[in-house]
């Protein structure tokens, strides 16, 4: 390991797929076991979701004509009325994500000596060595190909594309082909889903150094080779795929012998990958001896600064590697089995945005662009949701999606996801933050914000006794009042989302006498939040609805995080109530995302002790595999990217927070972080910030990309003012306590 923690390593191969080291380019993924005898690389691809038995894809329920009656019933006090607001269908999960196959090279014999496997986060290369054997794997961001290069004496064995992974359906139609060429071989596997015209095909171009190739018992037989270069792609398709054309495309990447080709492919990939990865660094001055430990040993040292450094680096690496064609799924871009929990889908009512929360501040616009791609690809379906369920113009986002369908068809009585109207604002908020960070306002995003505002114009048609509009029906993911059903009135998240969406759309569409005036006026008529008898910000602002505290979601604290509407600076009384709500919130089933969501809100409320406690729960709960990918529950139960991808956001929020008109430095510096540095953080007023602290003093170097005038908050006071001119570096010195 280098002195700085930009990678991890292990002294033994991965026995479980969850421990396999990961590489990816946001489209293809690779899980690398690093076994010198049975060398396996599981290949995944973002578009691989299993069809659900043929027939038309389900759409949203057509309930708009029944909406007025539901609203009447809820306003009249029928606390269970929303349970009947369905079209009678059974719960239908979105299509499940699955792996393609494993590229497998089984050697005849080997000498086991001095084994080590590692992944370099700065290059995306997974490396394994044993004796004279050496394997390198990466997924090219430049050429969209999985690259594996194996060298060593006695590379005698058989190469196959093996579809037999856990949970693969019995009815999967599998066809194979091997075509020998003058420069190697083309190995193909085609898998047709049961009861579907959909299929996916994998093509591997195999190039050998020395020796010769022939058709073997299960795949390609290689004998006498000293090097083997494998280039693999996967396509999901209907009908037949022209494997020969794909092989020709792969052959076009060959620029010489395998060693030269590998070097050229790596050089083209490493440039964009390294540039993205190295934009931000995080350093807690960990001892070099601890930095050199394998990841499995570090995970046993929950209080180690080296562990936090490595998890920060791994989180950014995995987040970048799983973002491209789409943002990360619940499993990122990786899985080793077909029966992934919760379909390995995108759960948008919490998990997706928690995973991508660091994108703007941690300088990963690639992640924001991937989330934007998901949204843009589904806007037509979101319009269907608004029209069919609510009889409204505009857009409504689903709580679950497989990446293809954006229709809100995943719902049931206990979780009436189709009633959730805050989703579009929730999913667009990080894209707005990215736009504020760069200063660019994409036209499509402005149009989408306007569609959210138009939805609220149509939907917010009912008025309460106080003359304010009522959000009815309303749903707070994934909780219910203690004395009512899940679908109810005036969920705090729904109110906050509507207010933010209307005001943001108005700000992006300024001008007198236009729709901005209507949207601002409607935002003014939204209900006030409510403080319950316990002094806490209530999860439902409708009088008489009692809170249910022991729950993994913290949807009602949406005005605190991701928004800054409630904060300790301009709304201290509401911040006090929000903090009380945080104190009362239980952990329910110890979901990793619940602990980190809790900590993100605590950081916004300037509570470093609570940040540290939530972080400790995750670091001591055995949530991380040896791959440094995480699990959903303690004791590494259910492979899930929430903790791995969210952790960098939490560490960043503890050090720096920003809005277009405010900079907060070290708002929640945990005890024990006596010395450290972070470089390259971005702010929503267009500046890059580097921080270093030691001995109670912090130095902040601000590099503005555009002019700005912002309030400055520090650990020992404020407000001050920071007046910035583009290109003029400012250096600030302040006390940390």
Structure tokens at 681: 């953080």
Per-residue pLDDT band at 149 (split at 50, 70, 90): very high
Domains contained in the chain, number: 1
Mean pLDDT value of segment 181-209: 93
pLDDT of residue 45: 98
Distance (Å, rounded) from C-alpha 38 to C-alpha 373?
38
pLDDT category, 514, cuts 50, 70, 90? confident
Handedness of CA 367, 373, 374, 375 (dihedral sign): positive
Contact (CB, 8 A) for 207 and 229: yes
120 has a pLDDT exceeding 50: yes
Q: At a CB cut-off of 8 Å and minimum separation 6, what does 2 contact?
A: none
% of the chain with per-residue pLDDT over 90: 91
Quick check: bond before 562 cis, omega within 30?
A: yes
- Return the pLDDT at 2: 42
Single out the residue of 539, 462, 534, 457 nearest to residue 494, CA to CA.
Answer: 539
Map tokens 């929990």 to a residue.
341
Task: Please tell me the distance from the alpha carbon of residue 516 to that of residue 513, in angstroms, as a whole number.
Answer: 8
Q: Is residue 662 part of a domain?
A: no
Question: Which contiguous run of DSSP H or E holds residue 365?
Answer: helix 365-376
Contact between 151 and 226 under an 8 Å Cβ cutoff? The reply is: yes
Domain assignment present for 17: yes
Decide if 366 is inside a domain.
no
Q: Give the residue numbers spanning the domain of 24.
A: 7-49+98-278
Closest CA to 35 of 101, 109, 128, 100: 128
- State the helix-helix crossing angle for 365-376 and 305-321, rounded to 10 degrees: 40
In a domain, 391, yes or no: no
What pairs with residue 209 in β-bridges? 227
- Residue 556 within any structural domain of the chain: no
Cis peptide before 694 (omega within 30 of 0): no
Cα–Cα–Cα angle for 328, 331, 334, nearest 5°?
Answer: 90
* Predicted confidence (pLDDT) at residue 55 exceeds the cutoff of 90: no
Report the run of H or E that residue 731 belongs to, with start and end.
Answer: strand 730-735
The mean pLDDT of the chain is: 95
Instruction: Answer whether 202's CB lies under 8 Å from 188's CB.
Output: yes
Angle at CA of residue 375, ends 371 and 376, nearest 5°: 115
Over residues 282-293, the mean pLDDT reads: 96
Sign of CA dihedral 701, 706, 712, 713: negative
Dig out the tokens for 316 from the structure.
């950014």
In the predicted structure, residue 199 carries a pLDDT above the cut 80: yes
Rounded CA gap, 317 and 274, in Å? 10
The arithmetic mean of pLDDT across residues 64-75, rounded, is 98
When pLDDT is cut at 50, 70 and 90, the band that residue 54 belongs to is: low
**DSSP strand E in 216-312: where?**
220-238, 281-283
Mapped onto helix, strand or coil, the DSSP state of residue 601 is helix
Q: Is 719 a residue whose pLDDT tops 80?
A: no
CA–CA dist 502, 524 (Å, integer): 10
Polymer length of the chain: 737
Distances in Å between the Cα of 67 and the Cα atoms of 64, 480, 516 are 5, 20, 27
Query: What are the backbone dihedrals phi and psi of residue 49, each rounded to the nearest 5 degrees, phi first?
Result: -125, 135
* Whether residue 3 has pLDDT greater than 70: no
Angle at 77 between CA 72 and CA 78, to 5 degrees: 80
* CA torsion through residues 539, 545, 546, 548, sign: negative
Around Cβ 408, how many Cβ atoms within 10 Å?
28
What are the pLDDT digits (tens) for 645-679?
999 999 999 999 999 999 999 999 998 999 999 99
Query: Which residue has tokens 């602290």?
Result: 693
389-445, pLDDT tens digit by residue? Answer: 999 999 999 999 999 999 999 999 888 999 999 999 999 999 999 999 999 999 999
Alpha carbon distance 479, 553 (integer Å)? 7
Domain membership of residue 258 (yes or no) is yes
Rounded to the nearest 10 degrees, the angle between the axes of helix 642-655 and helix 305-321 is 120
Do 148 and 103 meet the contact criterion of CB atoms below 8 Å apart? Answer: yes
654: helix, strand or coil:
helix
Name the least confident of 12-21, 466-475, 684-693, 717-726. 717-726
Res 72 pLDDT > 90 = yes
Could you tell me if residue 269 is inside a domain? yes
Predicted confidence (pLDDT) per residue in 16-31, tens digit: 999 999 999 999 999 9
Nearest to 346 by CA among 332, 359, 336: 332
Please report the pLDDT score of residue 4 as a whole number: 57
Question: Phi first, then psi: what are they for 728, rounded to 5°?
Answer: -100, 115
- Residue 1's pLDDT is 38
The answer as to whether 178 is a domain residue is yes
Condensed to tens digits (0 to 9), the pLDDT of residues 89-104 reads 999 999 999 999 999 9
What is the C-alpha to C-alpha distance for residues 147 and 228, in angstroms, rounded to an integer?
11
Q: Using an 8 Å Cβ cutoff, are 330 and 342 in contact?
A: yes
Q: Which CATH number goes with the domain that contains 255?
A: 2.70.98.50
pLDDT at residue 434, rounded to an integer: 98
Asked if residue 660 lies in contact with residue 650, where contact means CB atoms within 8 angstroms, the answer is no
* HEC assignment per residue over 171-214: CCEEEEEEEEECCEEEEEEEEECCCCCEEEEEEEEEEEECCEEE
pLDDT per position as a tens digit, 239-270:
888 888 988 899 999 988 999 999 999 999 99
Q: In the numeric block, which tokens belong to residue 411?
A: 């719902």
pLDDT of residue 512: 65
């Amino acid at each position: 390991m280098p002195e700085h923690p930009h990678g991890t390593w292990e002294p033994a191969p991965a026995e479980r797929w969850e421990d396999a080291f990961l590489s990816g380019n946001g489209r293809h993924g690779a899980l690398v076991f690093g076994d010198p005898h049975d060398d396996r690389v599981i290949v995944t691809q973002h578009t691989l979701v299993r069809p659900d038995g043929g027939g038309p894809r389900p759409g949203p329920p057509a309930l708009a004509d029944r909406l007025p009656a539901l609203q009447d019933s809820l306003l009249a006090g029928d606390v269970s009325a929303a349970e009947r607001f369905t079209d009678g269908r059974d719960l239908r999960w979105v299509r499940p994500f699955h792996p393609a196959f494993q590229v497998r090279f089984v050697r005849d014999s080997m000498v086991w000596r001095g084994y080590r496997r590692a992944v370099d986060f700065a290059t995306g290369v997974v490396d394994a060595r044993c004796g004279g054997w050496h394997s390198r794997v990466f997924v090219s961001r430049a050429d969209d190909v999985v690259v594996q290069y194996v060298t060593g004496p006695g590379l005698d064995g058989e190469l196959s594309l093996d579809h037999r992974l856990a949970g693969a359906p019995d009815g999967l139609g599998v066809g194979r082909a091997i075509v020998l060429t003058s420069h190697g071989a083309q190995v193909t596997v085609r898998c047709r889903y049961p009861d579907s015209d959909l299929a996916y095909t994998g093509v591997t171009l195999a190039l050998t150094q020395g020796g010769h190739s022939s058709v073997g018992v299960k795949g390609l037989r290689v004998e006498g080779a000293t090097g083997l270069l494998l280039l693999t792609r996967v396509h999901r398709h209907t009908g037949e795929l022209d494997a020969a054309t794909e092989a020709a495309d792969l052959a076009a990447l060959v620029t010489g012998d395998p060693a030269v080709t590998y070097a050229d492919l790596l050089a083209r990939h490493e440039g964009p990958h390294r540039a993205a990865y190295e934009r931000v660094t995080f350093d807690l001055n960990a001892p070099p001896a601890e930095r050199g430990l394998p990841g499995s040993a570090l995970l046993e040292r929950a209080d180690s600064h080296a562990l936090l450094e490595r998890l920060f680096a791994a989180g950014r690496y995995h987040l970048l590697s799983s973002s491209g064609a789409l943002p990360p799924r619940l499993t990122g871009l990786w899985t080793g089995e077909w029966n992934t929990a919760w379909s390995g889908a995108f759960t948008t009512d919490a998990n997706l945005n928690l995973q991508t929360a660091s994108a703007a501040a941690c300088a990963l616009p690639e992640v924001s662009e991937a989330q934007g791609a998901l949204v843009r690809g589904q806007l037509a379906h979101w319009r269907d949701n608004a029209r069919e369920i609510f009889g409204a113009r505009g857009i409504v986002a689903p709580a679950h999606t497989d990446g293809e369908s954006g229709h809100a068809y995943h719902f049931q009585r206990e979780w009436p996801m189709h009633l959730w109207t805050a989703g579009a604002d929730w999913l667009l908020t990080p894209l707005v933050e990215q736009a504020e960070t760069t200063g660019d306002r994409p036209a499509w995003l402005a149009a989408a914000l306007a569609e959210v505002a138009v939805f609220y114009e149509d939907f917010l048609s009912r008025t309460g006794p106080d003359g304010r509009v009522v959000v009815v029906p309303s749903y707070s993911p994934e909780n219910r009042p203690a004395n009512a059903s899940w679908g109810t009135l005036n969920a705090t998240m729904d109110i906050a989302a509507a207010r933010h969406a209307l005001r943001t759309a108005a700000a992006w569409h300024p001008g007198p006498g236009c729709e901005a005036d209507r949207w601002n006026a409607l935002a003014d008529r939204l209900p006030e939040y409510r403080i319950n008898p316990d002094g806490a910000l209530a999860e439902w602002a409708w009088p008489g609805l009692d809170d249910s505290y022991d729950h993994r979601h913290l949807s009602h604290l949406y005005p605190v995080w991701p928004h800054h509407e409630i904060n300790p600076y301009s709304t201290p009384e509401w911040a006090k109530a929000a903090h009380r709500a945080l104190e009362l919130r239980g952990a329910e089933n110890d979901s990793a995302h619940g602990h980190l969501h809790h900590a993100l809100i605590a950081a916004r409320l300037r509570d470093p002790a609570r940040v540290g406690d939530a972080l400790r729960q995750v670091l001591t709960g055995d949530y991380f595999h040896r791959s440094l990918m995480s699990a959903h529950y303690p004791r590494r139960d259910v492979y899930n990217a929430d903790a791995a991808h969210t952790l960098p956001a939490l560490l960043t929020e503890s050090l720096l927070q920003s809005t277009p008109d405010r900079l907060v430095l070290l708002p929640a510096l945990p005890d024990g972080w006596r010395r450290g540095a972070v470089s390259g953080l971005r702010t929503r007023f267009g500046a890059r910030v580097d921080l270093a602290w030691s001995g109670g003093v912090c130095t902040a170097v601000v590099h503005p990309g555009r002019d700005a005038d912002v309030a400055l908050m520090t650990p020992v006071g404020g407000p001050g003012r920071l007046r910035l001119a583009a290109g003029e570096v400012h250096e600030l010195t302040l006390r940390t306590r």
